[in-house]
Copies of this chain bind each other. A is one copy, B any other.
Amino acid sequence: MSIKKASTIQDVANKAKVSIKTVSRVINNEPNVSLETVKKVETAIDLLDYQPNAFAQSLARSKPKIISLIYDTPSPNYISHIMEGVLAYCYKVDYEVIIHPLRFNEVGLMRSAEKFIKKSRLAGLIVTPPYSDNVEFIKLIESFDLPKVLISSGLNISEEDSIKTNDREVSMQMTDYLISNGHKRIAFIKGHPTHLCINDRFKGYQDAMNRAGIEIDNSIVENGLNSLSSGEQCAERLLSLKERPTAIFSSNDEMAAGVIKVAYRNGLNIPSDLSVVGFDDSPMTAMITPPLTTVKQPLDAIGEKSAEKLIDKLENKELVRESVINSNIIYRDSVKKIN
């Protein structure tokens, strides 16, 4: 097979016998091109299978069509679904995406973030936790006057710049569900303190408990660190209490998995001896025994909405997009009714 060479706007212009500017007009749906000319140009584009060079466009445009997704790397599952959604939307509207992992604990984090922003000439940024909780980072973005969308930020960010989930509300529902199954002594394992948004999950738990008139016993509220082993540690303490909880609500699945491991180790059956619920619906939750009742965040949708919101802003569409995306409880087999 002969070697293909991508054709340029000039090639198209030659073939259609118009100027390159006219081709540019057609590509970008600019007004004031006669129907006839549009046809000619489109035919030429088809014939040559022309694709505009994205980087030349970025260079020439005042606002390049390139955005970036910023993340740390805590959970592959989380970020890859968000990314999926972002890429899908951007692909549709013909934006390029640059994926940029940043090491949260790195020295000189801000420096390297700044370097990245400078060299890439971005139109805007989508920021995931934990960066969306990081005041310094957000200031950096603002100092470049870069449009942004922050995902699940625990900070007090204007609705225009953020996409949130209803963590608090759904945590409340989950707690209600536990209560409606007869549980009163419900332990809670909090998440990592730097993940602000995860705190909302605790608030939802408080809401439900308060509403149900059950006093929260702080001896069964644990401070977890999001990891499996941290879940195990919390569970060790919780399960060695003389007055054991009948249910444990963990702010994420990984810690819930730790709880389940410890429960088994202590000869406890789930759900008959202990009900456990998690949060996130990470892939393993369906695989462990018993399958875990948990909360599913529609991550793809979150990614997609974030991209949509950012790009709408970039193009000055004044649509006010919904900023809260609802999660759902996935009912599986880790909760049992007691009396």
Could you list which residues of chain A lie within 8 angstroms of chain B, going by C-beta atoms?
1-4, 6-7, 49-56, 58-59, 64, 66, 73, 76-77, 79-81, 83-84, 87, 96-99, 101, 114-115, 117-121, 139, 142-145, 228, 254, 257-258, 260-261, 264, 282-284, 286-289
Contact = CB atoms under 8 A, between A and B. Distances in A.
Contacts of A87: 99, 101
A117 to B, nearest CB: 8
Contacts of A52: 119
Q: Is the interface of A mostly helix, strand, loop or mixed?
A: helix
B55 A228 contact: no
Nearest to A284: B284
A289 B286 contact: no
A55 B51 contact: no
Contacts of A254: 287
Contact of A80 (B55, B79, B282): B79
Contacts of A4: 143-145
B99 A83 contact: yes
Contact of A287 (B59, B120, B261): B261
Given A51-B119, A139-B1, A260 B289 contact: yes
Nearest to A257: B287
Contacts of A145: 3-4
27 contacts: A1-B142, A6-B118, A6-B119, A7-B118, A50-B118, A51-B118, A54-B119, A55-B64, A55-B121, A59-B59, A73-B80, A76-B77, A76-B81, A83-B99, A87-B101, A97-B99, A98-B98, A99-B99, A228-B286, A228-B287, A257-B284, A257-B287, A260-B289, A283-B283, A284-B287, A284-B288, A288-B289
Contacts of A83: 99
Contacts of A64: 55
A208 B144 CA distance: 60
A56 B54 contact: no
A145 B289 CA distance: 50
Q: Which 7 A-B pairs rank lowest in CB-CB distance, beginning with the nearest?
A: A284-B284, A76-B80, A51-B118, A51-B119, A257-B287, A55-B55, A6-B118
Nearest to A121: B53
A35 B76 CA distance: 46
A120 B96 CA distance: 9
A269 to B, nearest CB: 12
B284 A51 contact: no
B228 A118 contact: no
Nearest to A142: B1
